[in-house]
Amino acid sequence: IYILAIESSCDETSASVCRDGIILSNVIAGQAVHEQYGGVVPELASRAHMQNIVPVVDKAMRDAGCKMEDLDAIAFTQAPGLIGALLVGAQFAKSLSLALDVPLIAVHHMQAHVLANLIPTEKNGHPDPKPSFPFLCLTVSGGHTQIVLCESPLSMRVIGETMDDAAGEAFDKSAKILGLPYPGGPLIDKYAREGNPARFAFPEPRIPGLDFSFSGLKTAILYFLQENTAADPRFVEKNLADICASIQHRIVTILLNKLKKAAIQTGVKDICIAGGVSANSGLRQSLVDWGQQFRWNTFIPAFQYCTDNAAMIAITAYYKYQAGDFSELRVEPTARAEW
């Protein structure tokens, strides 16, 4: 079974071809145009998707050694995301499905982030271990922070989520306060490697249950910097690595404390992370450390499957194909989506 999958929910145009659940190609075109605005500009994202989609799909097909007539289904990200961005991928997928007379598969972007953990990968010719069901997934991205209980590929439930900012936003907004360019998450990660995470103590919010909050942290960082730069205008410059390490440490411990709580509540031992923030080296290392301490089996998607990519849409579509879960041509993308 050959499936072509298209992802266009935000500012990455991506296409992937999979054969029987094996990823043959995964092409991702980023959009540098947003950097100068300090955030994604929806209208510009839609236009960039329009420019990118044909070459990106073309390259994904060539990398996979696949011809249009080989395809058995076309998949696309239906929700959630920027509506104008989603429309580009959706219309393209519908047209192909119609022209090739193959089924259309609509995929939920956040479910796909979770299932990125099931994409077959290997090291030195040996397949990597994958989580078994049920597993927990901490999905941390630019727009979401969720703890998901996954009972089977197509049956998952959000058991905790953020009440305000997402973890990725917490990184990006902290970076912005520090005067770093957008998106600041990867830069905080970079500087944090050289810093002392115990140097500055930022507060951990007290939120009941498995939910998260990051807006208080943002405010705490803002006041902390205002106070310190009033005393020393070069405070940030002199202490950048320690500040970044301390911020990162706080975000990571907020995330992992809730994940630990979820593991205890559910009794589940297979634990994954997913989404753009799962590319963070501090989170990756801490997950491994906590996993050893609490006897979890921990899993992290390969780096290229953490941030937005079409391979995760393809693997989700493969499970949907097997379940016969197809969409009508009239299916419409939506900015928000319930599970």
Annotated binding residues for Fe cation, written as ranges, equal 109, 113, 308
Q: Given candidates 16, 141, 298, 316, which one binds Fe ion under the rule CB under 5 A?
A: 141
Residue 110's alpha-carbon distances to 94, 114, 116, 207, in angstroms, are 21, 7, 10, 23
Question: In sequence order, what are the residues at sequence separation of 6 or more whose Cβ sits closer than 8 angstroms to the Cβ of residue 82?
Answer: 9, 10, 40, 42, 45, 46, 335
**In this structure, what DSSP letter does residue 10 have?**
S
- Tell me: does residue 172 bind Fe ion (CB under 5 A): no
Question: Taking contact as CB under 5 A, which single stretch among the options 149-157, 164-172, 247-255, 301-309 is the one that binds Mg ion?
Answer: 301-309
Beta bridge partners, 29, equal 13
Q: Which residue is nearest to ligand ATP (CB)?
A: 276
- Tell me: does residue 308 bind Fe ion (CB under 5 A): yes
Q: What is the token pair recorded at 336?
A: 């928000």
* Residue ranges at the known binding site: 109, 113, 139-143, 172, 185, 189, 280, 308
Amino acid (1-letter code) at residue 291: G
Question: Are the C-beta atoms of residues 101 and 75 closer than 8 Å to each other?
Answer: no
- Tell me: does residue 141 bind ligand ATP (CB under 6 A): yes
Question: Taking contact as CB under 6 A, which single stretch among the options 28-36, 198-206, 269-277, 313-321 is the one that binds ligand ATP?
Answer: 269-277
User: For residues 9 and 91, what is the distance between their CA atoms, to the nearest angstrom?
Assistant: 13
Write the secondary structure of 165-207 as one string of H (helix), E (strand) and C (coil): CCHHHHHHHHHHHCCCCCCCHHHHHHHHCCCCCCCCCCCCCCC
Cβ proximity to ligand ATP, 122 vs 338, nearer residue:
338
* Site track 268-307 with Fe ion (rule: CB under 5 A), x = hit: ----------------------------------------
- Tell me: does residue 146 bind ligand ATP (CB under 6 A): no
Query: H/E element holding 63?
Result: helix 42-64
Cβ proximity to Mg ion, 7 vs 11, nearer residue:
11
- Tell me: does residue 270 bind ligand ATP (CB under 6 A): no
- Tell me: does residue 112 bind Mg ion (CB under 5 A): no
Q: Given candidates 3, 5, 6, 10, which one binds Mg ion under the rule CB under 5 A?
A: 10
Q: Given candidates 92, 135, 171, 319, which one binds ligand ATP under the rule CB under 6 A?
A: 171
Q: What is the token pair recorded at 126?
A: 């040996």
Say how many C-beta atoms besides its own lie within 10 A of residue 42's C-beta. Answer: 17
Binding-site ranges for Mg ion (CB under 5 A): 10-11, 308
Binding-site ranges for ligand ATP (CB under 6 A): 9-10, 81, 109, 113, 141-144, 168, 171-172, 183, 185-186, 189, 275-277, 279-280, 307-308
